[in-house]
């Protein structure tokens, strides 16, 4: 890497996942200079804050002489966040509610720290890498996460939890893990596929379900057809509500199942009101695990007015 060209205003970004806490040092152009990860502590919010400061300290130590000290940070976090207060309202991985995750980091490193929902951060990361300011990101993993960027900024709503497309109503009769009756995630999320398949006497893990579906076996065929119908609904809602310039499909299930990408593209072509949008690209996500770090890095830079 050409260190001479590194900009002065580096930032820190963090992505707190269910198993790994990742941190990165990011330059002014949004490039990751260094990154590291540790197991996500699940014992208490205090332990999480301590792990964040530990990773932050370690990343700051790596920058010696290459870039100036980081000037801001942003933490991407699974769960319900309140962007304005920097508090996590609910952390589903652990069940902890209403705690501060940013203050300790801000004190320790003496810099401003913001908080963002992890799926929204990943959507912003995909927007950054594709240089697209009107982007819809649909992440199909264990659940269904969506994030939307318009005018170059995240659509986050009042508290930072806007863009939760996975829990839009689809077809009553099946409950999602969060408890809603018949949302898109209840049909399209990987966990939901596994639960439905096992309950119907089929295989209980996604790769086996996909294999059985491709071999034309039941119950996989019926379950996957409903999943694809849920995906069609999600794509249709996305295009009609947001008129994006680009849709990206990511997540473990989205990347493992090219049929999902094909069906999403077909949906765009067949939309009744989508006549002018037949050229709307639907593409595989580019960043994988780094999307949240890149997106959070962008939000950290925004704290500096950049
Ligand atoms: Zn739901």
**Domain ranges for the chain:** 3-123+289-303, 131-286
Q: How far, in Å, from the CA of 274 to the mean position of ligand 1?
A: 27
pLDDT at 168: 96
Q: In a structure prediction context, what are the per-residue pLDDT tens digits for the chain, which is 306 residues long?
A: 444 444 467 999 999 998 999 999 999 899 999 999 999 999 999 999 999 999 999 998 886 666 678 999 999 999 889 988 999 999 988 999 999 999 989 998 899 999 999 999 999 999 999 999 999 999 999 999 999 999 999 999 988 888 999 999 999 999 988 889 999 999 999 999 999 999 999 999 999 999 999 999 999 999 999 999 999 999 999 999 999 999 999 999 998 899 999 999 999 999 886 556 778 999 999 998 899 999 999 999 999 875
Report helix, strand or coil for 18: coil
Q: Do domains 3-123+289-303 and 131-286 have the same CATH topology?
A: yes
Q: Which helix (H) or strand (E) holds 116?
A: strand 113-117
CB environment 47-84: b (16+ within 10 A), e (fewer) = ebbebbbbbbeebbeebeeebeebbbbbbbbbbbbebe
**Angle (nearest 5°) at CA 85 between 89 and 72:** 115
Report helix, strand or coil for 82: strand
CA distance 144 to 48: 25
Q: How far, in Å, from the CA of 227 to the mean position of ligand 1?
A: 14
pLDDT at 218: 97
pLDDT at 6: 44
pLDDT at 276: 63
Q: How far, in Å, from the CA of 302 to the mean position of ligand 1?
A: 32
pLDDT at 231: 98
CATH classification for the domain delimited by 3-123+289-303, as one of 3.30.365.10, 3.30.950.10, 1.10.3720.10, 3.30.420.40: 3.30.420.40
Q: How far, in Å, from the CA of 96 to the mean position of ligand 1?
A: 20
The DSSP code sequence of 142-161 is SSEEEEEEETTEE--TTTS-
275, HSE (Cβ side, Cα atoms, 13 Å): 2
What does CATH list as the number for 131-286?
Answer: 3.30.420.40
pLDDT at 21: 96
pLDDT at 64: 61
- 69's tokens: 């000290």
Give pairs for 178-187: CB < 8 Å, separation 24+: 184/144, 184/230, 184/233, 184/234, 185/143, 185/144, 187/226, 187/227, 187/229, 187/230
Q: Are 85 and 113 in contact (CB under 8 A)?
A: no
Give the pTM: 0.92
pLDDT at 273: 67
Q: How far, in Å, from the CA of 184 to the mean position of ligand 1?
A: 7
pLDDT at 275: 57
pLDDT at 289: 87
What residues sit around ligand 1, an ion, with C-beta below 5 angstroms? Answer: 167, 176, 178, 180, 183, 185
pLDDT at 178: 82
CA distance 243 to 246: 9
């Amino acid at each position: 890497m050409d260190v001479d060209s590194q900009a002065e205003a580096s930032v820190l970004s963090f992505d707190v996942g269910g198993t790994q806490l990742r941190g990165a040092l990011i330059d002014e152009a949004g490039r990751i200079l260094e990154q590291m990860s540790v197991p996500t502590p699940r014992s208490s919010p205090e332990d999480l804050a301590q792990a964040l400061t530990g990773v932050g300290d370690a990343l700051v130590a790596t920058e010696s002489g290459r870039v100036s000290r980081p000037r801001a940070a942003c933490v991407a976090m699974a769960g319900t966040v309140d962007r304005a207060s920097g508090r996590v309202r609910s952390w589903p991985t652990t069940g902890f509610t209403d705690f501060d995750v940013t203050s300790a980091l801000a004190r320790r490193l003496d810099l401003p720290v913001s908080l963002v929902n992890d799926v929204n951060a990943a959507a912003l990361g995909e927007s950054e890498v594709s240089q697209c300011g009107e982007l819809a990101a649909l992440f199909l993993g264990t659940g269904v996460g969506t994030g939307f960027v318009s005018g170059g900024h995240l659509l986050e709503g009042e508290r930072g939890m806007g863009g939760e497309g996975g829990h839009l109503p689809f077809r009553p009769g099946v409950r999602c893990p969060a408890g809603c009756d018949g949302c898109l995630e209840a049909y399209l999320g990987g966990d939901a596929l596994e639960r439905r398949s096992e309950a119907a006497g089929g295989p209980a893990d996604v790769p086996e379900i996909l294999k059985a579906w491709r071999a034309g076996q039941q119950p996989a065929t019926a379950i996957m057809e409903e999943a694809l119908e849920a995906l069609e609904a999600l794509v249709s809602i996305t295009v009609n509500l947001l008129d994006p310039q680009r849709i990206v499909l990511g997540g473990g299930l989205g990347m493992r199942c090219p049929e999902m990408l094909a069906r999403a593209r077909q949906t765009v072509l067949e939309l009744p009101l989508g006549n002018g949008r037949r050229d709307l690209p639907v593409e595989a996500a580019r960043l994988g695990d780094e999307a949240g770090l890149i997106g959070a890095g962008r939000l950290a830079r925004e704290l500096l007015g950049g």
